[in-house]
Amino acid sequence: MNIRLSLAVMVAKFAAFVSRKFGWKGSSLPGVVARKLYKNTLKDLAGQARQGVIMVTGTNGKTTTNNMIANIIQTGGYRVVINQEGANLITGVTAAFVKYANYLGKLDCDFALLEVDEASFPKVVQEVKPQFVVVNNFFRDQLDRYGELDTTVKLVREALKTLPQVHLILNTDDPLVAQMQSATGHDTSYFGLSSNLRIENETKQTRESRFCPHCGNQLHYDSYQYSQLGSYSCFECGFKRQEPEVEALAIDNQGTSLKCHVRYPQGQTTLTINTQGFYNLYNALAAFCVGYLIGIDIQQIQQGLLKYKPAIGRMETFEYHGKRAILNLVKNPTGFNEGISTLLSIPGSKSVFIAINDNDADGRDISWLWDVDFEHLANGQDSITNFTCSGLRGEEMALRLKYAGVPMEKITVVRDMARAIQKTLEDSGESAYLFSTYTALWSAQKILLGLAGKEEDHVKGLSSVS
């Protein structure tokens, strides 16, 4: 028995207990305490995962993808450790292991499933050697914290090069992600969407990558999915979208769920996920690819995805007197644009709530709001009864909507978040859609839980199709 590890785990668990007792969120606190007491806590605990470690990184969709993978692997009969709440810095990753360990510092798990912040990824892989790494996408995100996008991509790329052996699972539609194979030489499986699968995308989105990551010449696109994701090629050096091992061929939006036809090496199947948002298909395909590679039965993969329930703010759904309310975390232009597209695809009239904070965890610089295509939202405003802006920068959000072309009579600023959400729920829209930046999210969810119930599980009545 490692006495120092056992002591670190015991004290960290006590810190977690005190944190919960006083109502503090503190999801990373046990990790902070454990690492102070014993610097090898993470390394020693991660080494106990019998089948290895699976990491998920990238800008958007880490929490959703990681939780989908957990559902699939658990449906396959394996035990997991997971940082389910999305605490993805090195202290949060350590806290996840502490949570699952016993007081002697022992773990009973087959796989450790870790979503890891892009900037923390190099630090984490110094202590934990993953068997699989999933990279979903790269977008501009909190420039005052991460720096320019090229910096973030380089951090992940260079960290991957330090790993002696790892299997990469990459989004082939994102050139910034797909370059990781040729840059590192690691074994790779790709996932993606078939070209021109998305024909209704009218938003004028900022393209994050116009140039080849290898030679610097401009990329040629045959089609886009969104942002820089699409079917691309470089006429100079030959870099191009690789044929995916797992590919979505068709999509059926069923209102509260998405169904897609998927091709994989041994055939084709149909997946259903109980959430909205076109971007969630990428998350589901990444999770499918992981399940397939580690040998989970296809029907168990289907069942695992069917059982997925959105984490806090990831298209989380509530019901208020028969009205559906959807809570959606937003943190960068691409994610906000996709949220707007999802909002506009919902039938009927909607009332909209937007909470913008500029705390450290959100990013102090909110100029990114001017890169969001709110003009697309303004063009679809006929279906929106009103916009309620809140949070520390609610006034700036209202100004942005005004310049996008939303009539002032439709915009209200309510600083008190509880009153703002109550107003949104009681407004005349047939449904309510709530956008929130990170530090406003927990308050928004708590208020919603006090006013509205979580919507009934949609799994009943849905069938898994093979």
Catalytic residue numbers, as ranges: 365
In Å, how far are 21, 76, 265, 266 from 73, measured between CA atoms?
Answer: 32, 5, 20, 19
Between CA 136 and CA 99, with CA 32 as vertex, the angle to 5 degrees is 70
Task: Report d(CA 162, CA 129) in Å as an integer.
Answer: 10
Task: Report d(CA 355, CA 357) in Å as an integer.
Answer: 7
Q: Which helix (H) or strand (E) holds 241?
A: none
Cβ proximity of 323 and 351 under 8 Å: no
State both tokens at 330. Answer: 């937003």
Task: Report d(CA 218, CA 111) in Å as an integer.
Answer: 41
Alpha carbons within 13 A on the beta-carbon side of 199: 5
Looking at the chain, the number of H-run helices and the number of E-run strands are 16, 18
Tokens 């021109």 locate to 196
Task: Report d(CA 40, CA 158) in Å as an integer.
Answer: 23
Phi (first) and psi of residue 131, to 5 degrees: -85, -35
State both tokens at 150. Answer: 């090229």
Cβ proximity of 377 and 406 under 8 Å: yes
Phi (first) and psi of residue 352, to 5 degrees: -120, 135
Q: Which helix (H) or strand (E) holds 189?
A: strand 187-193
Task: Report d(CA 352, CA 404) in Å as an integer.
Answer: 15
> 10 Å Cβ neighbour count for 3?
10
Fill in the DSSP letter of residue 111.
E
